[in-house]
Amino acid sequence: MQRRSFLKKAGLGLAAGAAAAPGLVNAQAPAAGLPTVSWRMAGSWPKSLDTLYGSMEEISKRVSAATGGKFTIKVFAAGEIVGGLQVLDAVQNGTVECGHTATYYYFGKDPTFAFSCAVPFGLNARQQNAWMYHGGGKELMREFYKDYNCMQFTAGNTGAQMGGWFRKEIKTLADLKGLKFRVSGFAGLALTKLGVVPQQIAGGDVYPALEKGTIDGAEWVGPYDDEKLGFYKVAKYYYYPGWWEGGPELDVLVNIKAWEALPKEYQAILEAACAESNVSMLAKYDTLNPAALKRLVANGVQLRPFSNEIMAACYKAANEVYAEISAKNAKFKKVYEAMVKFRTDQVQWFSIAENRYDNFMIAAERLSQKAPKKK
């Protein structure tokens, strides 16, 4: 009897404690009294890509769960509301409240857009996160996005990408002459200096263009996504690295009017969901890419590095483009100079502990694989 009496009193005490601190036991309680809000998110991705399109779904689920279903975001794949390359326009003019995209797709509007995604020989994934979260990048980019009626949120990263699929080997600079290559924005300008004919094509349209021979090569992301899109079936040579995408960031763009109409609680939840997606996407790619690459090689894919000659020529061409754009675009110059200053310090730091550790582990792993196995 005494035991039952004690448990009853303890239960009443826990209930009282829960009432005093509802946030500890009922995550939905803070949403009580807040309005029901329904948004639409347009994406630049086909549904088949569970990494990119899937991150939109993750953000939507997290926002809904954190608000007890009061703030919902319905996601739409590329082409369902607007094309994959029109997401910025749809957010800017209020067709949708938000969108998930790679902002270097809008390089033609202003090359400054590329800095919240990736630029040739720019930052790797960790460095991009450091710059955006703590190095001043977020402030610079949000100032820029105001002119386009948008708020910008870091919401994903693929890590360093591959250099793409080619129907023939790319051994020397001469092999680039006249090459029709699917590549986005900034990299296209640099490659043009080397004789490449860049083509900007949305993800869902790349395979048929490569299959028909409309293009000679195409870059997308990396092994996992590239395998899903089937590029290995129509192009044999797979090159690395994608020097134009050392750590490409994916963003959620939000219409400013829609953002300002959100309760502060919902704003905080959406921003947190984007940050969570940023971490989750990179982790997912790092988990899935190794096995995908093994499968591709097993299917006859020829893995090739870009030669030092090609890399050096591309680096020189990219720097020439940076100088040309900076001379006529003050907004671009402001962000570029800040990024370069940050990159210089980052490269110096990464060359110490990180680089030494990675290089040793690569050598050690290769050596262990060659060592005869004990019976």
Tell me how far apart the alpha carbons of residues 346 and 126 are, in angstroms, rounded to a whole number.
10
Dmax (CA) for the chain in angstroms is 91
> 80-114 burial by CB neighbour count: b if 16+ within 10 A, else e?
ebbbbbbbbbbbbeebbbbbbbbbbbbbeeebbbb
Domain residue ranges in the chain: 35-159+247-286, 164-246+295-348
Closest residue by Cα to residue 341 from 138, 134, 131: 131
Tell me how far apart the alpha carbons of residues 55 and 337 are, in angstroms, rounded to a whole number.
31
Structure token digits, residue 337:
């100079």
Identify the three-state secondary structure at position 141: helix
Residue with tokens 């590095």: 305
Residue with tokens 């009897």: 1
Provide the pLDDT confidence category of residue 5 given band limits of 50, 70 and 90: very low
Domains 35-159+247-286 and 164-246+295-348 share a fold: yes
Q: Are the C-beta atoms of residues 182 and 206 closer than 8 Å to each other?
A: yes
Identify the three-state secondary structure at position 180: strand
Q: What is the tens place of the pLDDT at every residue in 125-140?
A: 999 999 999 999 999 9
pLDDT at 31: 55
Q: Is the pLDDT of residue 13 over 50?
A: no
Structure token digits, residue 69:
């279903």
Q: What is the tens place of the pLDDT at every residue in 83-120?
A: 999 999 999 999 999 999 999 999 999 999 999 999 99
Q: Is the pLDDT of residue 28 over 70?
A: no
When the pLDDT of each residue in the chain is averaged and rounded to a whole number, the result is 91
pLDDT at 2: 43
Tell me how far apart the alpha carbons of residues 91 and 208 are, in angstroms, rounded to a whole number.
28
CATH topology of domain 35-159+247-286: D-Maltodextrin-Binding Protein; domain 2 (3.40.190)
Provide the pLDDT confidence category of residue 375 given band limits of 50, 70 and 90: low
Give me the helices (H) in 217-352, please.
223-229, 256-261, 264-298, 308-326, 330-350
- Hey, what's the torsion of the CAs at 170, 173, 179, 183, to 10 degrees? 80
Q: What is the tens place of the pLDDT at every residue in 87-97?
A: 999 999 999 99
Q: Is the pLDDT of residue 323 over 60?
A: yes
pLDDT at 184: 75
How remote is the C-alpha of 62 from its chain's centroid?
19
Superfamily of domain 164-246+295-348: Periplasmic binding protein-like II (3.40.190.10)
Whether the pTM exceeds 0.75: the reply is: yes
Q: Which 8-state DSSP code applies to residue 188? A: H
